[in-house]
Each structure stands twice: as C-alpha cells, then as structure tokens.
Chains A and B, each alone.
Chain A
Amino acid sequence: MSSILFNVVVQGILTGLVYGLMALGLSVIFGVVRVVNFAHGEFAVIAMYAAYLLFSALRLDPLIAMLPIALGFFGIGYALQRLLINPFIGRPAHEQFILLVGVAIIIVNGLLMIFGPDARPTNLSYAFDSFAIGPLFIDKVRTYAAIAALAVTGLLFAFFRYTHTGTAIRACADNLVGAAVVGLDVKRLYALTFGIGLACVGAAGTLMVTIADATPALGPAYTLLAFTIVIIGGLGSMAGALIGGILIGVSEACAGFLITPSMKSMFSFALLIAVLAFRPEGLLGKRT
C-alpha cells in the first residue's frame, strides 16, 4: 500500500511539473503586463491539437514538436500583444476581461468547428513503458514530459536572471515609471513577455498530450487549473507557479487513487480555499 501511494505521489509530481510550466506562462504575463490571460487553457489546447497533428501526420514525437510549437506560440503571443492587447493596456480591468474571454470563446468554438468534440489521442509507442526503480514504477512518458518541462522552466529562470532583456522585463514589473524614465521600450517588452508566456503554454500543451487526449472542452478546465495553481503559488511568483503545479499534480493523483478520479478537482479547490484562508497572497507571493 505505502509503495503504491509513493508511486502515485511521484506520478503526481511529474504531471505537476507540466502543470507548473503552463501556470508559469499565466504568472509571467500577469506579473509583468498586468493582464490576466483568461484564454490561457484554451491556448494550451491549441498546442495539444498542434502536437496531435504533427504526430499523426509526421510521426513527430511531442518532445521534439514542443520546440517548433513553443516558437510558433511565441510569435502568436508577440503579435497578439502588439495588435490586440496593447490598446487595452491601462483600460479598466473588465474591458480586458471581456477581450480575453472573447478570445477564449473564439478558440474553443474554432476548435469544435475544425476537430469536433471527440477526444483525439496521441498514441506514443512508449506510452505504456515504465522505469522500475526498486519498488517504484514510473511512466516513461511522464518522466520525459516532466524533464522537458523542468528544462524549459530552468531556461526561463536563467533568461530572466542573467540576460539584459530578461532583466529589463523584470524592471518593467518592478517600476513601470522607472522603465519609461530610462527609456526602455515597454510596449516591445510587454509583447516579448506575452510571447514568452504563450511559449510556456505552447510547450506545456504539447507535453500535455502525453497525459491527456486533446478535446476542446479541456480549454476552460485548464484555464481554471492554471488559475488555481498561480493563486496557490502566489501571483507573479515564478517559483510559486512551479510549486503550485506540483501540489496540484500530487493532490489530483492522490484524490484519484484514494477516492475516485472524478473527485480530483474538488481536492484542488479545497487546497485553493485553504491557501486563500490562511495565506491569501499565495505560498510564495508577496504581501501587498
């Protein structure tokens, strides 16, 4: 029993790292651009379909497809911020809300029109392989997906920490007036940030096909999931998004194992409520 539970926890951590990468995108966009991407999960699902198509047409492994898809999503995010969202910067929050909810609705219905409501599975040849480490059996796909998610997250941390452009983006989040004073091109940095946020979702969504089958209905569910994670971890905190992702991954896995998989969202929301009650700024969030 205990070794099975241990297995479940490890699986949860692996899935949680992919969740964390998705939530990281939301957190970065909010932390810098101060816009809440209500279409976040829907973008993840577009990436899932892209991964599905690349796999069924070209036999491209999602672990490889992740790179071109993330790159494409970066471009989409950059253009979206420049053309659509920038005019809404500084407008009241409810107008931004309507804009992004509109984008979300368009995406879900567009996907329904193109692909229909049925789930599209990506059947990898190694889908049922696992590593055996002592009493532990770990899914190969999940392990690879988790390593990939961790690698992308690490790259992102390094980018923000060590590059001039990454530092400039942090500077915008820190003091917007100061950014204008020193002559940073804030609009361009916002577009880069939105691009980076969507690249995270693109990569995470691609990895998600190793965990779930693509269907349009997942969009709103993933948006909610990303929100839950970011609020648990702390809005705007990158490490918080990762830790929140792992917590939700583990809580979902344990709920599925101990009770029934359909209860897993209830566990996540219970966790959310507990955090809001005892630490409303999130685990790693700053008190304001």
Chain B
Amino acid sequence: MLRIENLDVYHGDAQALDGVALTVDQGAIAAIVGANGAGKTSLIHTIAGMHRPARGRIVFKGQDIAGLPSHKVCNLGIGQVAEGRQVFPSLTVAENLEMGAMLPRAKGKRVENLAFVLTMFPKLRERFTQAAGTLSGGEQQMLAIGRCLMGSPELVMFDEPSLGLAPAAVHDVLAAIRDLNRAGLTCVLVEQNVAVSLKLARQAYVLENGRVTLAGSGEALLADERVRQAYLGM
C-alpha cells in the first residue's frame, strides 16, 4: 500500500533521514523502532506532507506523493495520530472531531464516522461539549485517534500514541489500535513500548540515525539479539 524508496530528509543542514526504504502492506501493522532522534517523526511528517523530502519516492497506492502538501496527502487517505496528540485545546471535543471530517473524502461520511468513533470511545461522548484542553492525557489521545478516524483514512500513522499515559490508558490505546487494524485499517506504529509494538506488527523496521538498519517481521525482530539488547534491555 505504501512504498518508500531512497528517502533523504533534511532539517536545514542536518540530515534526519538517509536513504530510507520501506514498505507497508495493505492490512498490516508496520512498526518503526528507533532511539530518540533516530528520525521516526521526521519520517512520518515527510510522508504526511508536512515536510518536503530532498530526494526519494513515497508511493501510496501507486501514486508518488512525495512533496504533496499535507491537505492533499490526507485526502488520499493517509491519516496521522501525531506525536504530542496535537488536539485543538480551545475547541470542544465535538469541534475537534468535526475538524477531522473537513476532508472532501470524508464529508459525506460524517454521521457514520462520528457514530463509529463515539461507540469506540464512549468517553468522548461524555465530554462532547467540553474544551479539548481540559481532557486528561488519555482522553486527548482518544480524541486524537477519533479525530483522525473522522477523515476516513485507509492508512494511519501513529507517532508515540502511548507517550506520557497512565498504564491503563496505555493498554486502552494499544488495544484500540489492534482493534482498528483487525477491522481492516493499515497502520504505521511508532511506539516506545517496543515489545508490544513488535508483537502487534507484521512488518518491522529499525531506524538508527536516519537509516533503516534492520527489517523483518515483528516476530523476527523480537527474537533478534541486537534488538533485544538495544531496545528491550535484555
């Protein structure tokens, strides 16, 4: 569904990604593992059209989308649950969800998508008219996921969705991602919880200093000695 070839990305003079190549199969969860500063967020932002690559191809469903602006990328069906959640703090929960449905591709499915999101996250229904800035971290993460789903995405990139959450909320968020994937959503998962994310993932990539240094199935990486040492502390 998504194929990335030879991607180079810079922040000013500093290179964040160096010749990255990876694929994400339809219906899969693809985990991306890497230390702080490895370039995971840079990769997601570049796919999402929020950052222009210097070189390389990003092919989504047969179309090269490298360099397209973010609103066009989103409308092709690539959604993002961003690092730090990025909800609209002074807008209500309802308005936040509405903003996810502004894409032309999702306009007609507003009602249907909203019903789906509120069934999946009943907490959001309770908080519907409350400003998003007053929600707890876990609730904000659910809102960020719900808002993304309002755009009818086919592929969703999750960037550290469990960061800073209490253990119970971490479990809820990861379970939600697993359920969405079972229902057919293709996912890219960047997660500090490396063991869990590799267990969920069909495909997995290790990113180090902007390069893919290891690739394989989630299972294979979970068993890999280097991964176990560097990311699982074993």
**A-to-B contact residues, CB < 8 Å:** 164, 167-168, 170-171, 174-175, 177-186
State whether B74 touches A174 (Cβ < 8 A): no
State whether B100 touches A182 (Cβ < 8 A): yes
A37 to B100, CA, bound (A): 30
Chain B contributes a number of interface residues (CB within 8 A of A) equal to 25
B119 CB–A CB distance under 8 Å:
no
B103 CB–A CB distance under 8 Å:
yes
A187 to B78, CA, bound (A): 20
Query: In the complex, which residues 40-78 of chain B have their Cβ closer than 8 Å to any Cβ of chain A?
Result: 48, 50, 69-71, 73-75
State whether B103 touches A164 (Cβ < 8 A): no
A183 in contact with B82 given A164-B102, A168-B99, A171-B88 (CB within 8 Å): no
B87 CB–A CB distance under 8 Å:
yes
State whether A182 touches B91 (Cβ < 8 A): no
State whether A175 touches B89 (Cβ < 8 A): yes
A177 in contact with B86 given A167-B91, A183-B74 (CB within 8 Å): yes
A179 to B99, CA, bound (A): 8
With both chains docked as a complex, state the minimum distance between the C-beta of B205 and any C-beta of chain A, in angstroms: 22
A50 to B91, CA, bound (A): 38
B206 CB–A CB distance under 8 Å:
no
Which residue on chain A has the smallest CB distance to residue B89?
A: A174
Q: Which residues of A contact B48 (CB under 8 A)?
A: 180-181
Q: Which residues of A contact B30 (CB under 8 A)?
A: none
State whether B148 touches A182 (Cβ < 8 A): yes
State whether A182 touches B90 (Cβ < 8 A): no
A160 to B89, CA, bound (A): 16
Q: Which residues of A contact B82 (CB under 8 A)?
A: 177-178, 181
Q: Which residues of A contact B50 (CB under 8 A)?
A: 177, 180-181
State whether B95 touches A182 (Cβ < 8 A): no
Q: Which residues of A contact B99 (CB under 8 A)?
A: 167-168, 171, 179, 182, 184
A6 to B22, CA, bound (A): 75
Q: Which residues of B contact A182 (CB under 8 A)?
A: 74, 99-100, 102-103, 147-148, 151
State whether A178 touches B98 (Cβ < 8 A): no
Which residue on chain A has the smallest CB distance to residue B90?
A: A174
Known contacts A168-B102, A171-B91; 8 additional CB pairs below 8 A are: A167-B99, A175-B86, A181-B50, A181-B86, A182-B74, A182-B99, A183-B74, A183-B102
State whether B71 touches A183 (Cβ < 8 A): yes
With both chains docked as a complex, state the minimum distance between the C-beta of B183 and any C-beta of chain A, in angstroms: 21
State whether B98 touches A164 (Cβ < 8 A): yes
State whether A185 touches B87 (Cβ < 8 A): no
A186 to B48, CA, bound (A): 14
By CB atoms of chain A within 10 A, which of B69, B73, B102, B151 has the most? B102
A130 to B148, CA, bound (A): 57
B80 CB–A CB distance under 8 Å:
yes
Complex A-B: 30 CB contacts under 8 Å: A164-B98, A167-B98, A170-B90, A170-B91, A171-B91, A171-B95, A174-B88, A174-B90, A174-B91, A175-B89, A177-B50, A178-B82, A178-B86, A178-B88, A179-B99, A181-B50, A181-B80, A181-B82, A182-B74, A182-B100, A182-B102, A182-B147, A183-B71, A183-B74, A183-B75, A183-B103, A183-B151, A184-B102, A185-B69, A185-B71
With both chains docked as a complex, state the minimum distance between the C-beta of A182 and any C-beta of chain B, in angstroms: 5
By CB atoms of chain A within 10 A, which of B48, B50, B90, B148 has the most? B90
With both chains docked as a complex, state the minimum distance between the C-beta of A33 and any C-beta of chain B, in angstroms: 17
Q: Which residues of A contact B87 (CB under 8 A)?
A: 175, 178
A181 to B102, CA, bound (A): 12
By CB atoms of chain B within 10 A, which of A175, A177, A184 has the most? A175
A170 to B88, CA, bound (A): 9
A78 to B91, CA, bound (A): 25
Which residue on chain A has the smallest CB distance to residue B44?
A: A181
With both chains docked as a complex, state the minimum distance between the C-beta of A168 and any C-beta of chain B, in angstroms: 6
Which residue on chain B has the smallest CB distance to residue A172?
A: B88
A187 to B42, CA, bound (A): 22
Q: Which of A167, A170, A175, A183 contacts B70 (CB 8 A)?
A: A183
With both chains docked as a complex, state the minimum distance between the C-beta of A240 and any C-beta of chain B, in angstroms: 15
A63 to B97, CA, bound (A): 40
With both chains docked as a complex, state the minimum distance between the C-beta of A177 and any C-beta of chain B, in angstroms: 5
A260 to B139, CA, bound (A): 59
Q: Which residues of A contact B100 (CB under 8 A)?
A: 182
Q: Which residues of B contact A186 (CB under 8 A)?
A: 71
A181 to B144, CA, bound (A): 10
Q: Which residues of A contact B74 (CB under 8 A)?
A: 182-183
Leading 4 A-B pairs by shortest Cβ distance: A183-B74, A178-B86, A185-B71, A174-B88
